[in-house]
Amino acid sequence: MKLSFPAFLLLIVVPAWAQPPQFFQPLGQVKQFLQLSDSQVQTILANNEAYNRYSSERQTRIRQVQAEIADETAKDTLDPNALGVRYAEVEAICREMKDRVNEYRTRNRDVLNPDQKTKLKILEDALKLAPVISEAQGGNLLGGFTYAPPFFTSTSGSTTSGSLIAGLIGPANGCYLPFPVVRTGDFSPASAATIVPANRVSGPGLNPAKPSGIPNRWFDTSKFVEVNH
């Protein structure tokens, strides 16, 4: 059976892309920074798991109440008392959850020794700079992006060019690939300039064989490689 090169490439790339990520160690970086022991990490994770179970139960109740609110709102005649009681219950649950968050955070911090608490204070102080860092990134004063953002804070006055949004919306259209691209053929700088990624267009000097403004391809389809099996 003969396969064209793009089809053969998918047989190699897609299975590799679909492989599960490497082993994830919960709180791995925090453990290294604070010099936590394995037992400390396990205690913190156990506390968090207890909160997660509690939170899941309370969020289930919130969804039930929200469904009741939707039913009440759909009625021709509104019942202010019925709606008010349900809205108050949702707010009460949210406040209760916030208190429980603080309770479990205290439990987690009680696991730390004095030196570790001092290091944690460094993270707390750095957290206060997060809005400033985000604004500096949005103003293109700091790096940190592994891609080309679609815009930065400017004088346009557009609400979509705010620094925080610029750091959150991701890369510009066509500037991100879900998996590595494998090229074949001539890898000289001259030929590399003729390779135009998907969602981009070829311009003058990029691909003389194609008119400017016509989307190019990842691969030169005129040079498919036949693979014999």
Strands 2-3 and 227-228: antiparallel
CA dihedral sign, ordered 202, 203, 206, 208:
positive
In tens digits, the chain (229 residues) has pLDDT values of 555 544 544 444 444 444 445 567 899 999 999 999 999 999 999 999 999 999 999 999 999 999 999 999 999 999 999 999 999 999 999 999 999 999 999 999 999 999 999 999 999 999 999 999 888 888 888 887 777 777 777 776 544 444 444 445 577 777 766 655 555 555 454 444 444 444 444 444 444 444 444 444 444 444 444 444 4
- What type of residue is 129? L
* Domains, the chain, ordered by start: 28-113 (1.20.120), 133-168 (no CATH)
**What CA–CA distance (Å, rounded) separates 42 from 26?**
10
**What CA–CA distance (Å, rounded) separates 145 from 76?**
52
Q: What pLDDT sits at residue 191? A: 45
Which three-class secondary structure string do you get for 207-220? Answer: CCCCCCCCECCCCC
Q: What pLDDT sits at residue 44? A: 95
Q: What pLDDT sits at residue 3? A: 52
Which three-class secondary structure string do you get for 117-177? Answer: HHHHHHHHHHHHCHHHHHHHHHCCCCCCCCCCCCCCCCCCCCHHHCHHHHHHCCCCCCCCC
- Write out the two tokens for 118: 């001092």
Q: What pLDDT sits at residue 134? A: 85
